[in-house]
Chains A and B, each alone.
Chain A
């Protein structure tokens, strides 16, 4: 899922600026699961903004609402009225949610309340880790289900580099060496010989390097008559 974390409150206040009527919009999907932008966080942030603006002698009208998914038009339709009644929407969705609101409500000023961090999973209670770089050409079948693009600090395809020591990455002892993980799993599964092959340079066109990406599925498109 998409992992995000809330921006510092001071930054959020400055993004809201002088707006009087504020709508905090939470999202019920990924950011709810990672405790960054669900209905609970939206309500808390709205209350904090109300309190802070009151203390500042400039009380704002701050309300909050949470939609099932900010990244789908049909869920955004349900909040159209509330959106049109405010000066600013503070989205607690990921970067996709913020942009969906901007695109769906052209006349609305929308600002982000979260920093979208990465695609990952909760490794332990309160700990989220990156797992996928969305490179668009999955190689997990070559690397024992451990992604070197996302989990090697240098995204090596023929790792590990000389910076792997005691299972850690040279960049930070908190980072497990992605290639040590790949090595260990291939070894345990009796497929170490896969590492002896030289992997050719990656075609990064499917990643961000080909420009903004788009998938069109003709089989799912509605015909014009429909």
Chain B
């Protein structure tokens, strides 16, 4: 794939890289750090994900809400024996801060980084903040690759010592506009140095198949590992909100109808008329359906040529990952012996 330093061809030697190189269908899952300094939250969530994925993405102040840092939470995961994918955005750090943080992350044992532009700060809880956006996600990918493969900083100065050897990830939103440009933008990220790609949430299989067809025609699936983003829907309201308000998310109406169907025994009553127990039961019914839908989506995705894995984003619902992975037949996760160096 990318320039190899080790004779076994690994660029980073991370578990995620080894699983993908061995040809397994990879599973990554997302872990959202707490809005507090409570490391126990990370340990608890790690417990929910342990054994069910090959690496764990840790979000970087997602939706521009201040949370425990991705690298801080990642250090806890490393101690817990799980492999983090550090998410790094360009919103809050300039090129100095990003490189410095990545050197620290590597020294703490982190081996995968996902390079993102970052949600705009106006969405979050500090909309008054000054943003950075010194570089963008494509340039960030290039910078991480330069640190690794050229052992040089973005300015060109050489590193004085060992380099951070990250497995470099990037995101792509297949259904954001302009849709016809998205495969080409993915190509730019791969050309910049991305080794793996995690996509925005996929619910519309035909649309994703069309995207992948274009990706294959450009040969991109042979230049980077593409992991399709999936996630369980929690309720019809959440699904409608995402469909209407989140750019780049397509949710077919039939999926929303299935969720509504699941809540039918409690339909006809307003929120105030339902007892606490009824609300809980309805929520459980929705969640069960959401997990079922997610499993079916993965089963479809497994058959799409050029898809190397799935990235499960169960936002603030890490408990859903285990039943999804088991239900999709992706459990247990492979234990890959490294290729001889």
Tell me the A residues contacting B by CB distance below 8 Å.
153-167, 170-172, 177, 180, 183-184, 195-196, 198-202, 204
Contact = CB atoms under 8 A, between A and B. Distances in A.
B187 interface: yes
Given A153-B120, A156-B133, A183-B178, A165 B188 contact: no
A180 B177 contact: yes
A139 to B, nearest CB: 13
The 8 closest A-B pairs by CB, nearest first: A162-B173, A165-B247, A158-B138, A156-B136, A162-B176, A164-B177, A201-B139, A201-B135
Contact of A198 (B119, B131, B138): B138
Interface residues on B, range: 35 or more
Given A153-B120, A163-B247, A196 B187 contact: yes
21 contacts: A157-B138, A158-B185, A160-B176, A160-B177, A160-B178, A161-B173, A162-B171, A162-B200, A163-B120, A163-B248, A165-B177, A165-B247, A166-B177, A167-B177, A172-B122, A195-B181, A196-B184, A198-B188, A199-B139, A201-B134, A202-B135
Contacts of A166: 177
Contacts of B118: 154
Interface of B: 90-91, 95, 117-120, 122-123, 131, 133-139, 142-143, 154, 171-173, 176-178, 181, 184-185, 187-188, 191-192, 200, 247-248
Contacts of B248: 162-163, 165
B188 A161 contact: no
Given A162-B173, A201-B135, A156 B192 contact: no
Nearest to A149: B133
A159 B176 contact: no
A200 B185 CA distance: 15
Contacts of B117: 154, 156, 161-162
Contact of A162 (B123, B143, B247): B247
Contacts of B154: 201
Contacts of B135: 201-202
Contact of B139 (A163, A167, A170, A200): A200
A217 B218 CA distance: 50
A11 to B, nearest CB: 18
A148 B172 CA distance: 20
Contacts of A202: 135
B192 to A, nearest CB: 6
B137 A158 contact: yes
A177 B120 contact: no
Nearest to A154: B133
A199 B187 CA distance: 14
B199 to A, nearest CB: 10
Contacts of B131: 154
Given A167-B177, A180-B177, A204-B134, 18 more contacts: A154-B118, A154-B120, A157-B136, A159-B136, A161-B137, A165-B177, A166-B177, A170-B119, A170-B123, A170-B247, A171-B120, A172-B122, A183-B178, A198-B138, A199-B139, A201-B134, A201-B135, A201-B139
A156 B90 CA distance: 10
A97 to B, nearest CB: 25
B144 to A, nearest CB: 13
Q: Taking each of A159, A161, A164, which has the highest tally of chain B beta carbons within 10 Å of its own beta carbon?
A: A161
A196 B143 CA distance: 18
